[in-house]
Amino acid sequence: MNGWTKALGVKCNHCHTLGAWEKEDEPAKQIARDMVALTSRINGESLKEIKNLKSERPSISCYTCHRGAVKPETAPAPPAQPQ
């Protein structure tokens, strides 16, 4: 779990109900499960189909997109304004 908190920049209570870890009442918990399944599909299937990758065993992780943020950036940041 520590890897997830670092990859998304969150604490445990982002996905879990403190003191009742088994509860399924946090939407982020299901989102995390769905994202793990997506990552597994990409690593297990999709990356194998991309020709000419330089890595023998390419893979992605939560950090690949999130970079320590709850919501990953979906576009480059706008250029800085000249001062």
Q: Inform me whether the pLDDT recorded for 37 exceeds 90.
A: yes
Position 25 in a domain: yes
Is there a domain that residue 79 lies in? Answer: no
Does 15 score more than 90 pLDDT? no
Please count the structural domains in the chain: 1
CA atoms within 13 A on the CB side of 9: 8
Quick check: is 74 in a domain? no
In a domain, 78, yes or no: no
pLDDT at 23 over 80: yes
Percent of the chain at pLDDT above 90?
Answer: 47
What gap in Å lies between CA 29 and CA 39, rounded to an integer? 15
- CATH code of the domain in which 6 resides: 1.10.468.10
* Rounded Cα–Cα distance for residues 79 and 23 (Å): 43
